[in-house]
Chain A
Amino acid sequence: MAARRAVLAIAAKDILTWFRTPSAILASLLPPLAFLLIIFVVAGAVGRNPVALVVEDSGPQAQRLVSILENSNAFRIQRADPVEATHLLDTLQVAAVITIPASFDDDYQAHRPDPVSVQINNLNLDFTNDLRRSVPAAITEFYEGQPDTPIMVGVSESDLRAHDVDLVQFQLVPILVLLLTIMGIVNGGLAAAREFEDLTIKALLLSPIGRGTLIAGKIIACWVTTMLVAAVVLVLSFAFGVLRPAGRYWLPALAAIGLIALAAAGLGTALGGALRRFSAVAGAGINLSIYLFFLSGGISVAAFLPDWIQAIAHFTPTFYGVDALEAAIFYQSTDNLGRDLGVLGVTAAVGLGLGIVSLRRRLVVG
């Protein structure tokens, strides 16, 4: 009973201290927020390119093509006359100008070659290739729907996943994992380091509690704080419809989140015990979390990274955390779930072990 009371007291004290320490809150939340902002900006820039559309033909076929282009996921269409369109392209307000000429319907009826012209601002290859792929795709779709087309084209798409995932949504999972690791590592580290830096460790050592009680209290505090922040993020994401595990898939999602938080809390405590300085822990913790973020496919898909990075990624626990959460949240899949949760479980055990060993070593006087 006495040990439980002490564990809860240490945990409550650390949680309260975290809430009252703006520097610790900022150190934990700013990096994930910064990456979130980057993702929004990048998604806005590369997701749907702004394109000016000049329509010089009012015929039905031309209007059908306009409708296809306007409903395309690849463009943000802005209607313009030829002069405006040229100005928009010259001033970098659009990535391309698509012109449907006045003869479009006549050419179509006469089976003359496709007359649609595309003027591209080939700013960089990624940008240009998007347009090079998207415009022919829209034209293919146009011809695909024609009963009397002489061009027999058709695309048979077979999807691996049940539904498409928006880029921002997709990137939110690694950012959630980054938040969990940074919360755990930085806060676990700061909570341990603060005791040494503020010299309060002496008050704890001179109390009748055991070392295990002290370490348990600190790790629980860090885990609870991390889970509280994760809960806020999940509730907001659920409310806005961006992260919504369906039905029973909540369970593996929560298990993965809990294990990542536990592993990070253990690692953070180990770091705090080793460094014993607030600034050193914050610097090392943030750096470590960001490396883990990138190695787990933070701003890309890990499977598409160069082979040598993939090899490293497979030894990165957060890679498995991202995989488990993507499967549970986006694809309602249990593929690799056992493997992912197993790796996270082992990582949590190792993290806790390191935290205990590191702090115990520091708690021995002479």
Chain B
Amino acid sequence: MTDTAIELIGLTKRFGSFTAVDDLSLTVERGEIFGLLGPNGSGKTTTIDMISGLSRPNSGAITVLGIDVLAEPRRIRRSLGTVPQENALYEELSAEANLRFHADLFDVPRKGLDEKITALLELAQLQERRKSRVSTFSGGMKRRLALVRAMLHEPQLLYFDEPTLGVDVQSRHALWDRILELKDGGTTVLITSNYLEEANALCDRLAIIDRGRLVALDSPAKLRRSFGDTVLEMRTRPAPGDDVVRKVRALPGVVSVIASDSSLKVTVEGGADVTGKVVTEVIGVTSLEEIQSREPSLDEVFLSLTGKELRE
């Protein structure tokens, strides 16, 4: 058995003259949680459709769990569990009927199915509502049901589109715990998310794609470090003028400078030496009222790489 869960080589998908995915190559290892991030229209969904065998690329190769997806798309779907963003649950059916329907589609053995459904409903904290119609469920309950439904046929690869979209904070952390447990059990998890906090909390590695191209691929920590090691947020009086921005930006080790109203955000690389020089430069020109130092966030990495906010 290969150690690679997903291998994309030179994947390209065009819709007429528009190139949705452009020569995308990446590898996802078995047992890791892999995040695919990108602004709307960046090619995430098209990539996932191709990985699931729903869509064929114009060129390139896709291997999932050692299976050539282009040659055997249905075979790969048997090993793939999916939690789409829209849940795709049957609202007129009960929670239990939704799971049984899924079991029939995936030909899950009938022996032991009742116990399995009970266990999954307990996991989703829906055991008491197993006979209730899904139309009566809250958004969080539906999300939890969609999650356990994807686990019913014990897939080797789970794909979550926005795993905790519309889920309350308490349920969100319970779902994160469950996803991490799945990883511990050897399941490979592929996530697309607009919540960088979620990607940061869950993913072993992140790929950032923009306009169909891979722009970064690394662990969340390394991605953050690649952007600089410290972000200084300073409040000044009077507001920082162009001269301050120009002087700070000229300092060695400064990665970026953003001035707005009465604050100045400076990202630096090089530790305390650089930080000290920045502060000295600022107080030489204006009065510093407040200063905070922290690690760069993934949002800032994302913005610097794509020029866009993730949720814009």
Contact = CB atoms under 8 A, between A and B. Distances in A.
Contacts of B97: 13, 16
B312 to A, nearest CB: 24
Given A200-B89, A366-B13, A366-B15, A208 B104 contact: no
Interface string B227-242: 0000000000000000
A202 B46 contact: no
A9 B52 contact: no
B88 interface: yes
A158 interface: no
A201 B84 CA distance: 11
Contacts of A366: 13, 15, 46, 49, 54-56
A28 B56 CA distance: 39
A5 B74 CA distance: 16
Contacts of A198: 88, 90-91
A109 interface: no
A365 B54 CA distance: 6
Interface in A1-19: 1-2, 5-6, 8-10, 13, 16-17
B101 A206 contact: no
A6 B92 contact: no
Interface in B73-102: 74-75, 77-78, 80, 82, 84, 86, 88-93, 97, 100-102
A20 B134 CA distance: 12
Given A202-B84, A365-B54, A207 B105 contact: yes
Interface string A247-289: 0000000000000000000000000000000000000000000
Contacts of B77: 206-208
A202 B46 CA distance: 14
A93 to B, nearest CB: 51
A227 B89 CA distance: 28
A225 B69 CA distance: 37
A13 B93 contact: yes
Contacts of B101: 9, 13
A162 to B, nearest CB: 48
A208 B90 contact: no
A68 interface: no
A20 to B, nearest CB: 4
Interface in B4-29: 13, 15
B154 to A, nearest CB: 13
B294 to A, nearest CB: 39
B84 A203 contact: yes
B88 A199 contact: yes
Given A5-B104, A6-B107, A199-B84, A206 B93 contact: no
Interface in B57-79: 74-75, 77-78
A210 interface: yes
Nearest to B49: A365
Contacts of B15: 366
A45 interface: no
Nearest to B75: A208
Contacts of B133: 20
A91 interface: no
A205 interface: yes
A20 B107 contact: no
A27 interface: no
Contacts of B74: 208-210
Contact of B88 (A200, A208, A210): A200
A204 interface: yes
A201 B54 CA distance: 12
Contacts of A5: 104, 107
A9 B90 CA distance: 13
A207 B106 contact: yes
A17 B133 CA distance: 11
Contacts of B105: 6, 9-10, 203-204, 207-209
A17 B107 contact: no
Contacts of A156: none
Nearest to B73: A208
A365 to B, nearest CB: 4
A21 interface: yes
B104 A6 contact: yes
B93 A17 contact: yes
A203 B101 CA distance: 11
A365 B53 CA distance: 9
A209 to B, nearest CB: 6
Contacts of A202: 82, 84, 86, 88
Nearest to A7: B104
A206 B80 contact: yes
A2 B91 CA distance: 25
A204 B78 CA distance: 12
A208 to B, nearest CB: 4
A16 B54 contact: no
Contacts of A208: 74-75, 77-78, 105-107
Contacts of B100: 9
Contact of A200 (B13, B80, B90, B106): B90
B106 A206 contact: no
A205 B49 CA distance: 10
A365 B51 CA distance: 12
Contacts of A206: 52, 54, 77, 80, 82, 84
13 contacts: A9-B104, A16-B92, A199-B86, A202-B82, A202-B88, A203-B89, A204-B105, A206-B54, A207-B102, A209-B105, A365-B49, A366-B13, A366-B15
- Pick the 6 closest A-B CB pairs, nearest first: A9-B104, A203-B88, A207-B105, A2-B107, A366-B55, A199-B86
Given A206-B80, A206-B82, 12 more contacts: A9-B105, A10-B105, A13-B93, A17-B92, A202-B88, A203-B88, A203-B89, A206-B52, A206-B84, A366-B13, A366-B15, A366-B55
